């Protein structure tokens, strides 16, 4: 029996807002008391997590006085120090306050956009003061309910203007901070701009310093759009743009469920973990999820343990997949290599002429079987624990 005990080296992190979620939903009041941030730090350290993440207002209330802010930050720093924990990622809450009901960087009101920049600069200062090296932007309110209201071309320009402002602010301060932009298709807005990982990757290339910016994909968000999350993450990995990841679970196309990692679509979760591990992803494994609304605090810690344990179980399964002789033999038949033909697929006039004249046996190509049924069944048996 393997040891699935989480350790700091696994780089598991939780947002204060995840284990700290009080179970409010659009139909119901909170079901759990707020757990103080210092207690979250202590408890997560006990459970083997590496660090925590926060929004500015998860720690410092939006209307705190400077003196209150300093006291809260001091106590939080002490808790991190006492429990050998770290702040890994920071972000700005640009969605809770009514001021942001029409968005932050894309609000039709320039005062709101300017205030969003002011709030973001203070929040960046706070995150850096606490040691964060990754800064997430989730534009939850950047969108519309009616397209009568907002010019979507103009909105993207405002969005870019604000991101560029903050890129220059960070450089000017001499901070060593990377930005990770997080897409989501809808909720809380009817439609959110830059809804998918692909859209976000394209937007990043238009910013003043694309090298400073990557993505923070979330399982639930791509699944809300009915997309294959593993493919989205692969595209980010292939461009060295996976700066952070939000792990959780979600039934396809529903509201943002943020379930415990692995609670749904265990096969999808397996291929995701395999992708991350096979490609040497070295960043934090952040569980952006929360306990079912039915749970008390004990259930919250069961939830946190479950996220980490499932990740480690799937990591072990991925290792077994990579070492399974039958699976690997099948894969070596399936993934044929033809060095000459591969060479011919690099463009040159000679290769183009060669390819145009090459006699392909189209019928044989169409007749061959790829053995994916067998491969998938072997994978399933491995996952189901009978292999
Ligand atoms: C909010 C959202 C998450 C984002 C967080 C970061 S806030 O909980 O649902 O997906 O990652 O702003
Ligand atoms: Mn998220
Ligand atoms: Mn979510």
Ligand 1, atom 8: nearest CA belongs to which residue?
A: 17
pTM for the structure as a whole: 0.97
- Quote the percentage of the chain above a pLDDT of 90: 99
Q: Under CATH, which number does the domain 8-321 receive?
A: 3.20.20.150
Hey, where are the domains in the chain? 8-321, 325-383
Would you state the pLDDT for residue 176?
A: 97
* 58 tagged catalytic: yes
Start-end of H helices in the chain: 16-19, 37-47, 56-59, 66-82, 110-129, 152-173, 197-204, 219-224, 229-238, 266-278, 297-323, 325-334, 339-344, 349-357, 362-367, 372-383
Would you state the pLDDT for residue 1?
A: 59
Residues in contact with ligand 1 by the CB-under-6-Å rule are 17, 55, 91, 136, 138, 182, 218, 246, 256, 288
Helix (H) or strand (E) holding 13: strand 12-15
Q: Which of 3, 10, 25, 55 is catalytic?
A: 55
Would you state the pLDDT for residue 219?
A: 98
Q: Which ligand is nearest to the CA of 24?
A: 1
Atom of ligand 1 nearest to the CA of 221: 10
Q: Which ligand is nearest to the CA of 188?
A: 1
**pLDDT tens digits for range 50-88:** 999 999 999 999 999 999 999 999 999 999 999 999 999
- Element counts in the chain: helices (H) and strands (E): 16, 10
Instruction: Check pLDDT > 90 for residue 2.
Output: no
């Amino acid at each position: 029996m393997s040891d699935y005990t989480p350790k700091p080296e696994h780089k598991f992190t939780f947002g204060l807002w995840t284990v700290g979620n009080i179970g409010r939903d659009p139909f119901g009041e909170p079901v759990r008391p707020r757990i103080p941030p210092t207690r979250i730090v202590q408890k997560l350290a006990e459970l083997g997590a590496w660090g925590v993440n926060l929004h500015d207002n998860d720690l410092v209330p939006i209307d705190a006085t400077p003196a209150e802010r300093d006291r809260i930050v001091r106590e939080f720093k002490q808790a991190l120090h006492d429990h050998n924990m770290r702040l890994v990622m920071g972000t700005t809450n640009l969605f809770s306050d009514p001021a942001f009901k029409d968005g932050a960087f894309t609000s039709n009101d320039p005062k709101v956009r300017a205030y969003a920049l002011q709030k973001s600069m203070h929040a960046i200062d706070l995150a850096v003061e606490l040691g964060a090296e990754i800064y997430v932007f989730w534009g939850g309110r950047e969108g519309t309910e009616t397209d009568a209201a907002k010019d979507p071309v103009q909105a993207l320009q405002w969005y870019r203007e604000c991101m560029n402002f903050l890129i220059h602010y960070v450089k000017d301060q001499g901070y060593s901070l990377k930005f990770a932009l997080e897409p989501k298709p809808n909720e809380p807005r009817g439609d959110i701009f830059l809804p998918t990982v692909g859209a976000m990757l394209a937007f990043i290339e238009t910013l003043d310093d694309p090298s400073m910016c990557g993505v923070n994909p979330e399982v639930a968000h791509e699944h809300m759009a009915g997309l294959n999350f593993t493919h989205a993450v692969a595209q980010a990995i292939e461009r060295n743009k996976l700066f952070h990841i939000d792990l959780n679970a979600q039934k396809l196309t529903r509201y943002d469920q943020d379930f415990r990692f692995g609670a749904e679509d265990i096969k999808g979760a397996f291929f995701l973990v395999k992708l991350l591990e096979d490609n040497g992803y070295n960043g934090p494994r952040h569980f952006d999820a929360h306990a079912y609304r039915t749970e008390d605090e004990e259930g919250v810690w069961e939830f946190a343990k479950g996220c980490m344990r499932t990740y480690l179980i799937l990591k072990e399964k991925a290792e077994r997949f990579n070492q399974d002789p039958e699976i690997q033999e099948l894969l070596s038949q399936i993934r044929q290599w033809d060095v000459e033909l591969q060479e011919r697929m690099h463009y040159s006039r000679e290769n183009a002429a060669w390819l145009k004249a090459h006699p392909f046996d189209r019928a044989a190509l169409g007749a061959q079987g790829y053995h994916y049924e067998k491969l998938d069944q072997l994978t399933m048996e491995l996952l189901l624990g009978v292999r």
